Chains A and B, each alone.
Chain A
């Protein structure tokens, strides 16, 4: 296994490689098809290179543990806006998630609906392309339109276009407190309608999820509010008023319980330790309930209904059940065989697939960077 210590090592390793490389950081998000090749672990490229709380920017080597980044930010009462999930519980992996892995998989949590995805906070990258050349794009400032935006392209490319060596983010202030407005007893369709109403209000909802089977066996719809205490209280009151016709409403104000409930949702805790395949479906929120009904699986909604996590018996062909639909389904957890059989990522229309293949050939002409991981 290759364990580069710095960017130069990565460059040398990729330039010298004659066969496929299996690139990983903490190896906690084994999403995608299995790659057969020599391991290249980026965990050795660790360290925060720059952190300016007054400028809301942080720059770190790609192998830096996510936990270290979050701790350093928390010490200044700041945070990554996009709330990256921890996949270890769902995938049964161990090790330390790295910030590079977060970027490579464009990992975003419940706050994605308000603060954007990982790619929206990512403002700069350095990476080594398939030729072994060190490339930079973006930078350390949050407004930058100089040249093509390869920063976005690198986010969610699962190491197939280059080995990330450094990433830079715009961060946000942390919050004084948080609360959840909870509604019980709604059908999926009623819940999505309520969430749409809340997200279409001026009250800055930072999370909107629906569990058809909540903690006590009843459907539970959750709306998160974050900010200064008075403001959170005010907005919780306003939302309660706004949704008063929707069902039985209560407000959870214990910030620790609110944090825990959203972290469980973020990390897909309802499916931890449960047998079966896990799919992640992204759709227009109002399409959510209809699509969900077609899955035939146990499920819950995030992103106001636009993200559906589905648990199905192993080997279920979810895409066959869904047929044509606007959005995409990703097979997050399954056996190696099923991942290969179904393709982990939603197949793309031919002209889009051709563009993606063209990019892959340009960035990695030898076809050695995580080949096949995205199908």
Chain B
């Protein structure tokens, strides 16, 4: 992975920079010993590693502002970090960067059931936002599968999704306001407990900007009342086409399931061997979940089952109890673990139009043979978000490279059929160099101009999102204009 040239002046000034940071932060909030900074050398994309210059763990917006002011004065790149669970290398440091971790900012600042909002510091984990309100019957809807560990800061940076987006949307649809610190230390308040913005939708722009526009320290999030209940139906088919058609027919029938999950045969077999959930051995498996009162659930499952039967399923199992529901979800929830039992895997995240599903799965199968690497597909079928898991052996020389090439081909295919490179993980460094397959140079330049406005020196989260060649030539053109 190509990274920008290290700023030698920063490396030489390390002692001074660290001393200045220590001056504005509490005891123990600055880490600079190499054996300790190594813990921050990568996120969940472990293939790429680089120890940062230093790590700071501030506890307040004011401290974040003080850190950013110093880093800007010293021209030190800053890599914001939530919980470090990015699968896209969104928090990969450079050698001359300071990691700004929000892990010590985990407070709930306000819980307001009348207005259905919660305000938190962004180091708080996703699951513990729900944890703070669930005793009172509420929850925070976005539920990325890393929710036990991932932080709201990272959710906002990547605009994280989850399995229940079809009904509840992704982070951007559940975020009402932020406190954000710009690279020059300016603190801005955007949005709040009210709906919509007075002027431009900066909140929408910030969400998903991968920590490149500012550091979000506090967030106002929408919370919802938990539904009375939820139950799934499991449907098995002997062809991907038919399963795809069934999904489309369910949606057309006017039912809005809270989740429609899809697994293909390799994934079904792997999870069955691992979790023994009692899945049928078939080509395609759907898990469709609906919410409401018992009677409402029965009615919706009735409609769904009626549609499913028209397509001759090899198995159809409506859950009647919490126990049966858990059993149906068991395999799906252990899919990643099951694939991990077999080998190392790489998890992709492209989105496709649901109608392109059969074609895409067929083509992935062909490519799997060409590359000689197995792949299983888990898929949020309601919203088209695919998670192909490519199996490889990290200890076999050349396997990782082959896997990456295969992954790139799958993502290009997603774009080719009208979809996109990433549905919920973000671009990070992982998909940076594929941006040109989805966007024209002009499309990227306009995005980079946004970066110019928020962070004119391009110090925040360097080397992510845009291909280095694109960002370097853009910045060269900018400085020519300035001169």
* Interface, chain A (partner B; CB < 8 A): 52-57, 76-77, 106, 108, 112-113, 116-117, 119-120, 129, 133-137, 139-153, 155-157, 161, 172-176, 193, 196, 199-202, 228, 230-231, 234, 282-286, 303, 306-307, 326-328, 330, 345-349, 351-353, 355-356, 358-359, 362-363, 374
Contact = CB atoms under 8 A, between A and B. Distances in A.
Residue with the highest number of chain B CB atoms closer than 10 Å, among A133, A145, A193, A282: A145
B299 interface: yes
28 contacts: A55-B355, A108-B196, A112-B195, A113-B195, A135-B442, A136-B440, A137-B447, A140-B353, A143-B385, A144-B422, A145-B422, A146-B435, A148-B205, A148-B451, A148-B465, A153-B200, A153-B450, A157-B201, A173-B252, A173-B255, A175-B254, A196-B113, A230-B295, A231-B299, A284-B117, A328-B197, A347-B198, A362-B450
Contacts of B442: 133-135
Contacts of B439: 136, 146-147
Interface residues of B, number: 95
B198 A145 contact: no
A55 B380 CA distance: 12
A108 B195 CA distance: 11
Contact of B438 (A120, A146, A200): A146
Interface in B81-122: 112-117
A77 B355 contact: no
Contact of A141 (B169, B255, B383, B450): B383
Contacts of B227: 202
Interface string B159-180: 1010001100110110000000
Contacts of A282: 194-196
Nearest to A52: B355
A57 B186 CA distance: 40
B204 interface: yes
A143 B170 contact: yes
A284 B249 contact: no
A120 B196 CA distance: 11
Contacts of B340: none
A345 B199 CA distance: 7
A156 B197 CA distance: 9
A176 B254 contact: yes
B443 A136 contact: yes
A49 B156 CA distance: 32
Contacts of B366: none
Given A143-B380, A374-B199, A137 B443 contact: yes
Contacts of A351: 182, 186-188
Contacts of B424: 143, 145
Nearest to B161: A143
Contacts of B384: 55, 141-143
A196 B252 contact: no
B453 A77 contact: no
A356 to B, nearest CB: 5
B159 A355 contact: no
B172 A352 contact: no
Contacts of A149: 159, 172, 204-205, 207-209
B254 A200 contact: no
Contact of A356 (B170, B189, B199, B449): B199
Nearest to B297: A231
Given A231-B292, A346-B198, 8 more contacts: A52-B354, A53-B251, A54-B251, A108-B196, A136-B440, A148-B205, A152-B207, A153-B204
Given A55-B354, A145-B426, A355 B202 contact: yes
B420 A139 contact: yes
A286 B186 CA distance: 30
A117 B196 contact: yes
B423 interface: yes
Contact of B453 (A176, A306, A362, A374): A362
Contact of B256 (A119, A172, A307): A172
Contacts of B299: 228, 230-231
Contacts of A196: 113-116
Contacts of A148: 205, 208-209, 447, 450-451, 465
A328 B195 CA distance: 9
B351 interface: yes
A328 B191 CA distance: 10
Contacts of B443: 135-137, 147
Nearest to A362: B449
B252 to A, nearest CB: 5
B1 interface: no
Contact of B173 (A56, A116, A155): A116
Contact of A362 (B292, B355, B452): B452
A173 to B, nearest CB: 4
B431 to A, nearest CB: 8
A285 B114 contact: yes
B111 to A, nearest CB: 12
B425 interface: yes
Contacts of B256: 172-173
B419 interface: yes
Contacts of A108: 196
B383 A142 contact: yes
Contact of B444 (A141, A147, A155, A352): A147
B56 interface: no
B172 A234 contact: no
B225 A200 contact: yes
Nearest to A112: B195
B33 interface: no
Contacts of B351: 141-144
Contacts of B280: none
Contact of B425 (A116, A145, A157, A231): A145
B201 A284 contact: no
Contacts of B205: 148-150, 152-153
Contacts of B200: 153, 156-157, 161, 356, 359
A141 B197 CA distance: 25
A54 B254 contact: no
Given A116-B173, A146-B421, A355-B453, A106 B201 contact: yes
Contact of B446 (A56, A129, A145, A306): A129
A120 B228 CA distance: 25
Nearest to A284: B193
B247 A54 contact: yes
Interface in B432-483: 435, 438-440, 442-444, 446-447, 449-454, 465
A129 B253 CA distance: 40
B393 interface: no
B176 to A, nearest CB: 10
Interface string B373-389: 00000001001110000
A201 B438 CA distance: 42
A224 to B, nearest CB: 16
B345 to A, nearest CB: 21
A139 B419 contact: yes
B423 A119 contact: no
B446 to A, nearest CB: 5
A102 B435 CA distance: 30
Given A142-B383, A143-B161, A362-B452, A119 B201 contact: yes
Nearest to A147: B447
B299 to A, nearest CB: 6
A200 B169 CA distance: 18
Nearest to A126: B443
